Amino acid sequence: MNEFNVTFEPAKIEVLDREKFEEQINSIAQANSNRLVTVESMADDKKTRAELRKLSKSLNDEKIRIKKEYNQPLTEFEVWFKKAVAVLDQAISQIDSGIKDIEAEQKAERKKVVHELLIELTTDTEVDSRIFESFVDDWAKASNFNDIKPKKQLIDSITYVIDGETQKIAEYKANKDTISNFCFGNNVSDTPYIRMLDSGKSVSEVMSAISEDVLFEKQRKEAEEK
């Protein structure tokens, strides 16, 4: 069933004495269209404005009343129709709720698989799998799985971000060693400079800071000796 039979007759709206009505409106409008407002005439002008507004509102109110009466059959039909199909909407809602429950369970299963993959692929690395939690929802999309089995594209995607994080850790350790060795060679503590690296400074910026501090300290000592 994809249709239901309805018959209706389009109503006709006929304005009696249409020309006479238009002539009256035009006459009133023309009589006031070139009205020159002055300080002396303002009181009378305000009165005229109020009368014109009242006339305009009364005409518009009548139009609304006619429209409401004209639409009454449609309004009654829509009320009946909404009530008649309510049981259909309820059936759809019930099915939709069941589908969403199943989809939520399936999504939870896929997320579990993703978490297991993260743990497996970060084993024997220094990467903490928990740092990728913000990606899990996207990775757990149905398009990344064949039923509950992850597709190669998903495994490749996870592997890619883990490799990137592994490289970051390796670079950080290398930069940290560079800073520590440079500090050791200049007989200064590396602690404040490691903090600079951790705060987001590049290794070249940190090395420049160390060199400046070492030079400053050297010049200070020379000045004291003199």
- Confidence category of residue 12, pLDDT binned at 50, 70, 90: confident
Give the model's pLDDT for residue 26. Answer: 92
Of 116, 133, 159, which residue is a domain's last? 159
> Residues 130, 180: one domain?
no
> Is 84 part of a structural domain of the chain?
yes
Give the model's pLDDT for residue 6. Answer: 84
How does pLDDT run across 83-126, given as a tens digit for each residue? 999 999 999 999 999 999 999 999 999 999 999 999 999 999 99
> Is 217 part of a structural domain of the chain?
yes
Q: Are 110 and 142 in contact (CB under 8 A)?
A: yes
The structure's pTM equals 0.61
**Full domain range(s) for residue 107:** 61-159
Give the model's pLDDT for residue 19. Answer: 92
Split into its structural domains, the chain has a count of 2
> Residues 126, 208: one domain?
no
> Residues 81, 130: one domain?
yes
Give the model's pLDDT for residue 37. Answer: 87
> Residues 152, 178: one domain?
no
Of 159, 177, 204, which residue is a domain's last? 159
> Is 195 part of a structural domain of the chain?
yes
> Is 209 part of a structural domain of the chain?
yes
> Distance (Å, rounded) from C-alpha 89 to C-alpha 73?
24
First to last CA, the chain: 105
> Is 171 part of a structural domain of the chain?
yes
Of 104, 125, 159, which residue is a domain's last? 159
Q: Indicate if the pLDDT at residue 225 is higher than 80.
A: no
Give the model's pLDDT for residue 2. Answer: 64
